[in-house]
Chains A and B, each alone.
Chain A
């Protein structure tokens, strides 16, 4: 098979399939990750003391351990926990779903792992952005008679979104790259596909290089979109990059 045919007939169609699976993992993980990041970040910046402690612990654990360990735990570790639970709950007459829900499909395990890990990182940017708002801004709002919730929606949120955008956007770019770990739980996404192709055709250099180009394209596109968004939301004098 000549090289061109190999690329156009075999490699590229297979990698495109992998790319589609990658997108199916990245998009929900990114959306859910940002959601968790906003909730956790706001809780850590302005919540009651006990909540701060709890959320700090969550962030410390998910940022302090490698994503491989987390992902492996979700996919390979939890079924063991499920069996253990089943051995207790089963004889007591509990229905099966009370322990079966801990057994994740590879796809569910990936999305859960990426969401929770990404959310922990996202919350750092949200928290930092909220805390970076100068005290004077809140004082001015108070002096005009804003209530706490009015201050949040008119001052805190718009400013924090702009300040956090850079960091949160970069975090999504990280997520694009770390979605490659899904191959560890047997998903044939971009990296998994390329790994299989490399060993099947015995042409690792070409396979991995082409895969690298796919990721470069994804990351570059995402970066352009992020810059565009930052420019659109730009307000003179508010340096967004600083908060990141």
Chain B
């Protein structure tokens, strides 16, 4: 390991924090992949033909029913392993799928299954009348979806999206099992050099906690920005019997 000759805790921490960029890239990439997969699937599940709904159902059932760890192994060692073999046969030279790509694909496709359910719920929660009103104004079915339903559905889905973000962030820590050099695998490298488990895992906890907090804060900001004002009132404290009698249980 290239770090060993001039190992210092300062360098170790810098090295780990630099891994944050890979974690962030992994999550942002997976969320966008999931969005690209999930949104059309949601539309198919609500408005699509019977066979389309069935296929989406199978997809969602598959990805939601298998642990992320098994999916990572299945994709990286199983499916991508097979793809590598086939490509090697065709091209005559060895091809390697980088662990980062395998991780991103797995997390993204899995997130797509979850996101399709988020958007399906959001679309269904919208007043049925919105869709009908759009059709009555002469929108095509696709036009009604993209111009009327989706802008509202995306808004409704933000809280669930924040939740999905925090789940993905935590799942991304498993990417180390494939050798992606994100936060967790760098932490493990440092632990194996120093044998200091507790301080480094606390550092990992802090980094992940911070990333969760930042992401959720950002999504809350976004939600507040595009929200219709006037909802939610402050709760005031009312006089209780104890206040009047000075007793309590």
Q: Which residues of A contact B (CB under 8 A)?
A: 60-61, 63-70, 72-73, 76-77, 80-81, 148, 177-181, 183, 191, 194-195, 198, 204-205, 207-209, 211-212, 215-216, 219-220
Q: Which residues of B contact A (CB under 8 A)?
A: 61-62, 64-71, 73-74, 77-79, 81-82, 166, 169-171, 173-174, 184, 191, 196-198, 201, 204-205, 208-209, 212-213, 249
Query: Are A208 and B69 in contact (CB-based, < 8 A)?
Result: no
Extra pairs beyond A69-B204, A208-B70 (7, CB < 8 Å): A64-B166, A76-B197, A180-B69, A204-B81, A211-B70, A212-B71, A216-B65
Point out which of A77, A183, A194 has the most chain B C-beta atoms below 10 A from its C-beta: A77
Q: Which B residue's beta carbon lies closest to that of A73?
A: B201
Task: Give chain A nearest CB distance to B9 CB in angstroms.
Answer: 16
**Contact A191:B69 (CB < 8 A) given known A66-B173, A72-B201, A204-B81:** yes
Complex Cα distance A191/B81, Å?
Answer: 19
Residues from chain A with a CB closer than 8 A to the CB of B201 are 69, 72-73, 76-77
Residues from chain B with a CB closer than 8 A to the CB of A72 are 197, 201
Residues from chain B with a CB closer than 8 A to the CB of A63 are 166
Task: Give chain A nearest CB distance to B77 CB in angstroms.
Answer: 4
Q: Which A residue's beta carbon lies closest to that of B173?
A: A66
Query: Are A220 and B65 in contact (CB-based, < 8 A)?
Result: yes
**Contact A198:B77 (CB < 8 A) given known A68-B173, A191-B70:** yes
Task: Give chain A nearest CB distance to B170 CB in angstroms.
Answer: 4
Query: Are B69 and A209 in contact (CB-based, < 8 A)?
Result: no
Residues from chain B with a CB closer than 8 A to the CB of A68 are 170, 173-174, 184
Complex Cα distance A216/B113, Å?
Answer: 15
Residues from chain B with a CB closer than 8 A to the CB of A216 are 61-62, 65-66
Query: Are B197 and A69 in contact (CB-based, < 8 A)?
Result: no
* Main SS class of interface, A: helix
Query: Are A212 and B209 in contact (CB-based, < 8 A)?
Result: no
Query: Are A64 and B70 in contact (CB-based, < 8 A)?
Result: no
Query: Are B73 and A65 in contact (CB-based, < 8 A)?
Result: no
Query: Are B208 and A65 in contact (CB-based, < 8 A)?
Result: yes
Contact of B67 among A60, A61, A177 (CB under 8 A): A177
Which 6 A-B residue pairings sit nearest by Cβ, starting from the closest? A205-B78, A204-B77, A180-B67, A66-B173, A208-B74, A66-B170
Complex Cα distance A181/B69, Å?
Answer: 7
Complex Cα distance A57/B184, Å?
Answer: 23
Contact of B208 among A69, A178, A219 (CB under 8 A): A69
Complex Cα distance A215/B68, Å?
Answer: 11
Query: Are B66 and A195 in contact (CB-based, < 8 A)?
Result: no
Contact of A66 among B77, B82, B208 (CB under 8 A): B208
Complex Cα distance A148/B170, Å?
Answer: 40
Complex Cα distance A177/B198, Å?
Answer: 26
Query: Are A178 and B67 in contact (CB-based, < 8 A)?
Result: yes
**What are 7 of the A-B contact pairs (CB < 8 Å)?**
A65-B170, A65-B208, A69-B173, A148-B249, A180-B67, A181-B69, A191-B73
Q: Which B residue's beta carbon lies closest to that of A206?
A: B78
Complex Cα distance A191/B71, Å?
Answer: 11
